């Protein structure tokens, strides 16, 4: 298994490198549009297959994760997750603003070299974007949310003629605000619905055992399917990278003109990913962040190749759970939410792009303008999508601070590279977030596991002491049966003492273990983690203190 994972990691990294090399080799031959389409066709099919799996993956992973934790633990995980994501997004925006203001890559003379842009300002505001996210959190139709989401649009109405000095000589176009549906999956709404569904299942406990087991098995099926599809990732990534490089117009000229802009963005992303995030992880966990990053290499390479946090989601699951041993109940909630609302790299990129446009037009921004940019880019980047997107959110930020948006189209030439790097930073931020949240909630999850283990052992002892109960028992015999030692290893607590202590417990007389006894449960819980995750968590009158 280890050799297979290493081979897949090597193939993924090689596919990125080979795709870049092939792209630059093919460019001088000026391939036709049909040739370019054929080059990108495997990648197109690959992305469609991956996006097909996102919906069942999100539904099964979020519900199965929250159904296996206590309601109070789910609430704590959710609160810590939101705080972490908002903090890192704001820090990345702040880093970008400081860097672009210091380096000052924008030069008004670049407009002559690059030419005029073609994009137009939008009537949308940051408030519209924020309200759209709130609307999408609570979809009116959960089926529709699987393929559409709400978006505010301003439709031009009949022109209005304005009377000045007795004559009608100015015509204004009036825009009317309307709510429309775009053909994009409403991931945020699905996560909110599935989170509530999973928490209710957890509260119901044994009453919902059948439904909980259904989603646990569904999650296992989806992940097994995705594990097989992962061997297609290298081919799809190679095709996507090669096609994008071949399809770029005027690459050399534009790259030279925008060199300082590209360097500024990349430096900001590197500072955030190699300094800010690792430092935050180290301060919270006191563990090596770079060893943690090593376990995420395949996910980072996949993010660079696909430029999609959603397409990278299955790889990130696997890297965190198998390589870094992060609790599945944490990853299955944190990562889908992170792929939707946390866009550290995108927020930094947007802040740099907005200030770069201002510098191109020799516009001096005040402290208030910079503060407005930091807030609007943070809000606009949240929920900007887990699939490759354009520069729509930057247009909104430019319009909000009164800057011209037409020259933003000039940045599209280098966006293919920056999009991939910032997606990798987004995935890295999600990974560090899962690691931090796992560290902060590990003790409460371990306590829940211990209570569940003791409850199962107590049920097994009752069945052993009363054989006739085995026939009428509603639940199957636990994997933690007292006669079944953990993988052939004797339990840390003497078996007879454990039997005696648990069998004498009652609702009025809960069991209390010392810290040393509690520590002795750790090897059992670690070794039996997978089997514990296959069972719903139930409240117990047996407490470990």
Residues 205 and 301 in one domain: yes
Q: What is the pLDDT of residue 158?
A: 61
Q: Is the pLDDT of residue 481 over 60?
A: no
Distance CA 469, CA 411 (A): 72
Q: Which residues pair with 154 in a beta bridge?
A: 177
Q: What is the pLDDT of residues 253-306, one digit of tens each?
A: 667 778 888 999 999 999 999 999 999 999 999 999 999 999 999 999 999 988
User: Which residue has 């999508």 as its token pair?
Assistant: 385
Q: Which parts of 309-403 fold into alpha helices (H)?
A: 309-318, 328-341, 344-360, 367-381, 392-400
Residue 340 pLDDT greater than 60, yes or no: yes
Q: Looking at the predicted structure, is the pLDDT value of residue 70 above 60?
A: yes
Query: Which pLDDT score, from 0 to 100, does residue 485 have?
Result: 36
* C-alpha of 373 from chain center: 24
Q: Which two structure tokens, joined as six digits, stand for 125? A: 């505001």
Residues 6+ apart with CB under 8 A from 394: 350, 353, 354, 380, 405, 408
Q: Is residue 150 part of a domain?
A: no
Asked which of 408, 438, 468 is the last residue of a domain, the reply is: 438
Whole-angstrom Cα distance, residue 356 to residue 106?
5
364 is a domain residue: yes
Q: How confident is the model at residue 376 (pLDDT cuts 50, 70, 90)?
A: confident
Q: What is the mean pLDDT of residues 314-337?
A: 91
Both tokens assigned to 290 = 């770079």
SS percent in the chain: helix, strand, coil, step 5: 70, 5, 25
What three-state secondary structure class fits 167? Answer: strand
In a domain, 289, yes or no: yes
Confidence of residue 469 (pLDDT cuts 50, 70, 90): low
Which domain covers residue 482, as residue numbers? Answer: 445-533
* Lowest mean per-residue pLDDT among 91-105, 168-182, 419-433: 168-182
Residue 129 counted as domain residue: no
DSSP string over 490-539: PPSS-HHHHHHHHHT-BTTB-----HHHHHHHHHHHHHTHHHHHTS----
Do 433 and 470 belong to one domain?
A: no
φ, ψ of residue 87 in degrees (nearest 5): -65, -50
Q: Is a pLDDT exceeding 50 seen at residue 542?
A: no
pLDDT band at 447 (very low <50, low <70, confident <90, very high): confident
So what's the pLDDT on residue 2? Answer: 58
406-424 mean pLDDT: 81
pLDDT of 180: 86
Output the six-digit token pair for 106.
């924008």
Question: In whole numbers, what is the pLDDT of the chain averaged over residues?
Answer: 78
CA separation for the pair 371, 366 (Å, rounded): 9
**Which regions of 21-166 does DSSP assign to beta strands (E)?**
149-156, 160-164
- For residue 161, being part of any structural domain is answered with no
Q: Give the CA distances from residue 247 to residues 33, 166, 242, in Å, rounded to whole numbers and listed in that order.
A: 9, 55, 9
Q: For residues 368 and 483, state if they share a domain.
A: no
Q: Is the pLDDT of residue 316 over 60?
A: yes
Q: What is the CA radius of gyration of the chain?
A: 27
Do 267 and 389 belong together in one domain?
A: yes
pTM of the model: 0.75
**Mean pLDDT value of segment 445-454:** 78
Q: Which of 391, 411, 438 is the last residue of a domain?
A: 438
Q: For residues 291 and 324, what is the distance between their CA atoms, to the nearest angstrom? A: 9
Tell me whether residue 359 is in a domain.
yes
- Ranked by mean pLDDT, the top range of 65-74, 191-200, 463-472, 507-516 is 191-200
Pair (334, 480) in one structural domain = no
d(CA 498, CA 520): 12
Query: Which uninterrupted H or E stretch holds 540?
Result: none
Q: Do 515 and 434 belong to one domain?
A: no
434, pLDDT greater than 90: yes
Q: At 341, which CATH number?
A: 1.10.3860.10
Q: Are the C-beta atoms of 542 and 511 separated by less than 8 Å? A: yes
Residue where one domain finishes, among candidates 402, 418, 438 = 438
| 225 and 319 housed in the same domain | yes
pLDDT of res. 170: 54
User: What is the per-residue pLDDT across 113-138, written as a single tens digit (0 to 9) for each?
Assistant: 555 555 555 556 667 777 888 888 89
Looking at the 3D structure of the chain, how many domains does it have? 2
Residue with tokens 């992170």, as numbered in its chain: 338
Residue 500 has pLDDT above 60, yes or no: no
Under the banding of pLDDT at 50, 70 and 90, the label for residue 399 is confident
Q: Are residues 224 and 354 in the same domain?
A: yes
pLDDT of residue 516: 52
Q: Is 20 a residue whose pLDDT tops 70?
A: yes
DSSP 78-112: HHHHHHHHHHHHHHHHHHHHHHHHHH----TTHHH
pLDDT for the residue numbered 198: 92
Mean pLDDT score, 40-55: 89
Cα distances from 3 to residues 7, 10, 16, 234, 239, in angstroms, run 6, 10, 20, 17, 25
Residue 138 lies in a domain: no
Based on the domain organization, do 380 and 512 belong to the same domain? no
286 plus 405 within the same structural domain: yes
Separation of CA 149 from chain center: 18
As a whole number of angstroms, the distance between CA 442 and CA 448 comes to 10
Same domain membership, residue 482 and residue 405: no
**Segment 220-242 mean pLDDT:** 89
Please check whether residue 185 lies inside any domain of the structure: no
Same domain assignment for residues 101 and 31: yes
Q: Which residues pair with 371 in a beta bridge?
A: none
Give the residue with greater pLDDT, 536 vs 141.
Answer: 141
- The two structure tokens encoding residue 87: 């903090």
pLDDT at 217: 92
């Amino acid at each position: 298994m280890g050799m297979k994972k290493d081979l897949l990691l090597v193939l993924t990294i090689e596919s990125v490198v080979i795709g870049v090399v092939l792209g630059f080799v093919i460019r001088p031959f000026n391939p036709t549009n049909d040739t370019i389409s054929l080059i990108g066709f495997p990648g197109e099919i690959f992305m469609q297959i991956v996006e097909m799996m996102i919906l069942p993956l999100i539904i099964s992973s979020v519900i199965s994760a929250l159904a296996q934790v206590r309601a109070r633990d789910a609430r704590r995980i959710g609160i810590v997750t939101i705080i972490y994501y908002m903090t890192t997004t704001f820090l990345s925006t702040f880093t970008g603003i400081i860097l672009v203001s210091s380096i000052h890559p924008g030069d008004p003379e670049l407009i002559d070299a690059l030419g005029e842009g073609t994009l137009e300002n939008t009537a949308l505001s940051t408030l519209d974007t924020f309200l759209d996210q709130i609307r999408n959190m609570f979809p009116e139709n959960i089926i529709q949310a699987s393929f559409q989401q709400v978006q505010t649009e301003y439709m031009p109405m009949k022109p209005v003629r304005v009377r000045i000095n007795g004559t009608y000589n100015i015509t204004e176009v009036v825009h009317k605000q309307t709510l429309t549906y775009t053909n994009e999956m409403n991931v945020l709404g699905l996560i909110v619905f599935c989170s509530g569904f999973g928490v209710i299942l957890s509260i119901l406990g044994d009453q919902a055992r059948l439904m909980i087991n259904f989603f646990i098995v569904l999650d296992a099926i989806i992940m097994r399917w995705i594990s097989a599809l992962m061997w297609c990732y290298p081919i799809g990534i190679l095709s996507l990278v090669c096609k994008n490089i071949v399809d770029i117009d005027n690459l050399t000229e534009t790259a030279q003109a925008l060199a300082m802009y590209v360097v500024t963005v990349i430096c900001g992303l590197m500072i955030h990913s190699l300094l800010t995030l690792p430092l935050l992880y180290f301060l919270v966990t006191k563990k090596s962040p770079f060893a943690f990053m090593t376990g995420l290499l395949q996910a980072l390479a996949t993010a660079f190749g696909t430029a999609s946090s959603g397409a990278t989601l299955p790889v990130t699951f696997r890297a965190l759970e198998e390589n870094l041993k992060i609790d599945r109940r944490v990853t299955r909630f944190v990562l889908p939410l992170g792929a939707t609302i946390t866009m550290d790299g995108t927020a930094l990129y947007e802040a740099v792009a907005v200030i770069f446009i201002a510098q191109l037009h020799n516009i001096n921004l005040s402290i208030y303008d910079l503060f407005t940019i930091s807030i609007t880019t943070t809000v606009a980047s949240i929920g900007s999508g887990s699939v490759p997107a354009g520069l729509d959110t930057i247009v909104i930020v430019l319009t909000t601070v009164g800057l011209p948006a037409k020259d933003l189209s000039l940045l599209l030439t280098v966006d293919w590279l920056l999009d991939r790097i910032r997606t990798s930073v987004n995935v890295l931020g999600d990974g560090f977030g899962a690691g931090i949240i796992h560290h902060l909630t590990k003790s409460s999850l371990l306590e829940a596991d211990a209570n569940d283990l003791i409850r199962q052992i107590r049920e097994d002892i009752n069945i052993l002491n009363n054989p006739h109960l085995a026939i009428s028992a509603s639940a199957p015999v636990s994997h933690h049966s007292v006669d079944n030692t953990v993988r052939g290893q004797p339990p840390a607590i003497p078996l007879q003492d454990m039997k005696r202590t648990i069998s004498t417990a009652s609702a009025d007389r809960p069991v209390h273990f010392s810290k040393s006894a509690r520590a002795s449960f750790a090897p059992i819980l670690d070794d039996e983690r997978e089997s514990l995750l296959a069972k719903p968590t139930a409240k117990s009158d047996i407490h470990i203190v």
